[in-house]
Structure 1
Amino acid sequence: MSRSDNIVAYWGGNADEDRLSAYCDATVNVITISTIIYQGEGQLPTMLDMEQPCGQAFFANTQLAYCPDLATDITHCQSKGIAVMVSLDSGNGTDIDWYGSESRARAYANLLWDLFLGGQSISRPFGDAQLDGVDFPCSWSDFASGCKAFLDQLQSHFQSDTVSRPYYSVVSVFCSDITSSGLITANLDAIYVAVHTGACSVAHYGDDALWNYGSWDSWVTSQADSDALKLYLLVPASATFGVDYVNPDRLAYIAMSTAARYPAHFGGIVYFDAAAAAANNGFQKSLRHAFSNVSHTSSLGIVPAVSTLSFSPVKTATSTSAGTASVSPTSSPTAPSQAPSFTLATAQETAPGSLASSKASKSTLVIAIVVAFAILVLAGIISFISVCIYRRRKRKVAEAGARLEGEEESNEASEPILRPFYAYPQPSSSVLDSEKPVALSHPTVMSSSPGRVQGLTMSHLQAIQVRRDSEDTIISVLHGSPRTLKNRSHYCQGMDMVISPVPLSPALA
């Protein structure tokens, strides 16, 4: 197995579940049908609580259900690249169980091959639909030889059918037993480690004294022919099972952190079951999303899980010894005691993480387009306002210019224009010699004699035009109040002045 983020779901035996095809989506890589129950030598097995998906159709003289609708769902899921496996019950750990003897174990392996996998039988519950593998508990050291015989026999069948599909073998075991059970590892594709109860539960992740994944990884590494063997964490999809439960985000973090630290053998997450996950606020969707987020935001180099899968060929058979105690993930009748695993890798994969990334990219693109459009609209509004302000100012300037021109024309018409001194009328001697105030009606040339200026009524003084003696050159034009002009006239001794009763033209001044 080349992946570290596979997700496996159990299905079956839950009264609230939908049909199998409803759960075959991008959130899972494998679905395991639970559970096949051994009925003894010479008898066909039964399937746990299959009344809902299978109805009341049974093969003659047996309790093995005939499930054509389920067969359709199986092929539908497989067409989407999702592997469909079957799990076996754990039995009672006695001599009469299918693993109680080597001969019985081999016979049961042959029967399962014919009924559910690539063999032939008139009593196939799923018709021509062929499942992709078997998930079984087999960790009792007292029955190691039976478990080994069962696995060897299955492997011989798997190797005989290399054309139609690869097949997978999975064993489940409690986390407390994995290193001490003498568990078979040869010919296995995965081990589902139940971490939902006990001191080594996933609830104790982070406590190195209790969470001992490192010892499991070391143990697997030490086994022969275990290079491709993967370890999965088997957990509940809901707190309703009454065992240790962690939410999808936390679970994804634990999984990806473990994969980063122990990349060689970590395979993914197995949860029970599909119906409970859907009822728990879409546990399966949250888990896949969290897997994708953790994968993309870390530097683990882990590829997000795929929605369309192909499988690698079956490996060559090799054998070792078998194991110890019975395994059951939970005491709940709906909680499976084992789970599947397989190699998931191929050409034309469409990763859910990639889909999420694609959606995120599309969302980012849409946001960028909206922001750009908003900026363009805002720029247009600002430009429009600027043009309006410019035109308004231009209009006001034009109006002000016209008004000034009118005022200048008015001033030119009403106010005297500065002219050379010889052009102004000369006052009569009586006016110049008068000691009384003189009322002037127009600008008048006067000597700079202070006395004469002082004799003028101050209200007549609006401007004084000063020139030098015997010259027409205008030195300055003085404006101001009458009192100021009278005072300033004292500084004009020896100069002639034009005394004006009105302001001289501003343009000329």
Structure 2
Amino acid sequence: MATKTQATPLFLLLSLLLILLKTTVAHRGGIAIYWGQNVSEGNLTALCDTGRFAYVNIAFLDVFGNGQTPLINLDGHCNPATNGCTIFSEQIRHCQKKHIKVMLSLGGLVGNYFLTSKADAKNVSRYLWNNLLSGKSSNRPLGDAVLDGIDFYIEQGSSLYWDDLARYLHHFSRKKFYNNPCQSNTTSLLNSWAIWVKSVKARLFFVGLVALPLPPGPNAGTDVTPSGFIPANVLESQVLPVVKSSKKYGGVMLWNAFWDVQDGYSTTILSSVV
């Protein structure tokens, strides 16, 4: 189930994700997972020790922009008001020592975030650089660990100035992660994949999926359920053979760690993704 602070991001479920990394990445697929919105999902150390994930998106920084003091929301994992989320600094480094990229996700379905101008976007980018990436600050919400990049999970408000924020972050760190609207079936998903891989200048693309078929519906057992869930056998037989033929294939993204614990989706698909 979705947590009390974040509704189910159903329209993200079949999104195409692109990631542009400064570092060189070997051409093999990996699984990206969202973590941070259900305390029952466990901690980052345990997540990374499973050996199933190449990327972890910490969700969410959901208050920022318009001069607001940015605030991270990790549901029941920690209390940012008392600097409680700094306990994850060592866990982030633990993941990175295992060569897992750890990103911060901006936005979500709830929260209070929007950008009012290019100057506002630049100020937010400076905050992210100094407090979460390679800059210097005495008020880093996740401690002194240096994250590998920023994930854009923008679900509300105006569409203005996000490109400016991405551009400023690119200038600082050359590491970005985007999501885009969903597709309703495997055919439209693969058509969108072909268009994006050809038209967008990016090194790697990811296919975004949900890790659990919620809510159940009349199309359960077909190629795509109403929630956007693609059964593992359909993913392995219809989607991955096509997307893996691209030199820009990076892997898949799963929402989210808690759902994955319930169904073991990442375990089922791992050998087919890599």
Report the Cα distance in structure 1 between the residues aligned to 2:89 and 2:74, rounded to whole angstroms: 16
Label 1:104 to 1:20 Cα distance change in 2 as closer, same or farther (>3 A).
same
Corresponding residue of 1:464: none
Report the Cα distance in structure 2 between the residues aligned to 1:247 and 1:91, rounded to whole angstroms: 25
1:43 pairs, out of 46, 68, 72, with 68
Residue 155 in 1 paired to residue 138 in 2?
no
> Does the CA-based 8 Å contact 2:34-2:57 persist in structure 1?
yes
| Local SS of the residue matching 2:84 | coil
- Per-residue Cα deviation, 1:53-112 (whole angstroms, up to 9, x for no partner): x2x4625xxxxx4323211110111111111101011578xxx94333211111111111
Stretches (4+) displaced over 6 A = none
Corresponding residue of 2:96: 78
**How far is 1:133 from its partner?**
0.3
> Does the CA-based 8 Å contact 2:108-2:155 persist in structure 1?
no
Report the Cα distance in structure 2 between the residues aligned to 1:221 and 1:71, rounded to whole angstroms: 38
Report the Cα distance in structure 1 between the residues aligned to 2:272 and 2:132, rounded to whole angstroms: 34
Corresponding residue of 2:198: 221
Report the Cα distance in structure 2 between the residues aligned to 1:285 and 1:276, rounded to whole angstroms: 12
Corresponding residue of 2:251: 268
Corresponding residue of 2:262: 279
Residue 101 in 1 paired to residue 124 in 2?
no
- Where does the alignment leave 5 or more consecutive residues of structure 1 unmatched? 60-64, 159-166, 176-199, 292-303, 305-509
Report the Cα distance in structure 1 between the residues aligned to 2:61 and 2:191, rounded to whole angstroms: 33
**How far is 1:2 from its partner?**
4.9
Corresponding residue of 1:252: 236
Report the Cα distance in structure 1 between the residues aligned to 2:46 and 2:40, rounded to whole angstroms: 13
**How far is 1:259 from its partner?**
2.4
> Does the CA-based 8 Å contact 2:71-2:80 persist in structure 1?
no
Scaled by the length of structure 1, the TM-score of the pair is 0.43
| Local SS of the residue matching 2:51 | coil
Residue 168 in 1 paired to residue 193 in 2?
no
**How far is 1:251 from its partner?**
2.1
Residue 288 in 1 paired to residue 267 in 2?
no
- Where does the alignment leave 5 or more consecutive residues of structure 2 unmatched? 1-24, 217-226
Residue 58 in 1 paired to residue 81 in 2?
yes
**How far is 1:268 from its partner?**
1.4
Corresponding residue of 1:448: none
**How far is 1:7 from its partner?**
0.8
> Does the CA-based 8 Å contact 1:12-1:33 persist in structure 2?
yes
Corresponding residue of 1:363: none
1:239 pairs, out of 213, 227, 233, with 213
Amino acid aligned to 1:288: L
Amino acid aligned to 1:22: A
> Does the CA-based 8 Å contact 1:98-1:105 persist in structure 2?
no
Residue 16 in 1 paired to residue 40 in 2?
yes
Corresponding pairs, count = 239
Which has a greater percent of strand? 2
Report the Cα distance in structure 2 between the residues aligned to 1:14 and 1:139, rounded to whole angstroms: 19
Report the Cα distance in structure 1 between the residues aligned to 2:32 and 2:66, rounded to whole angstroms: 31
Amino acid aligned to 1:13: Q
Label 1:119 to 1:50 Cα distance change in 2 as closer, same or farther (>3 A).
farther
**How far is 1:14 from its partner?**
1.0
Amino acid aligned to 1:120: K
**How far is 1:285 from its partner?**
1.4
Corresponding residue of 1:499: none
- Per-residue Cα deviation, 1:312-366 (whole angstroms, up to 9, x for no partner): xxxxxxxxxxxxxxxxxxxxxxxxxxxxxxxxxxxxxxxxxxxxxxxxxxxxxxx
Label 1:138 to 1:3 Cα distance change in 2 as closer, same or farther (>3 A).
farther
Corresponding residue of 1:377: none
> Does the CA-based 8 Å contact 2:65-2:124 persist in structure 1?
no
| Local SS of the residue matching 1:250 | helix
> Does the CA-based 8 Å contact 2:104-2:151 persist in structure 1?
yes
Corresponding residue of 2:9: none
Label 1:37 to 1:138 Cα distance change in 2 as closer, same or farther (>3 A).
closer
2:139 pairs, out of 103, 118, 123, with 123
**How far is 1:217 from its partner?**
2.3
- Per-residue Cα deviation, 1:211-251 (whole angstroms, up to 9, x for no partner): 2423442344234xx1x433211111111356122233432
Report the Cα distance in structure 2 between the residues aligned to 1:80 and 1:20, rounded to whole angstroms: 12
Higher Rg:
1
- Per-residue Cα deviation, 1:3-42 (whole angstroms, up to 9, x for no partner): 3522101001113211111110321100110111124433
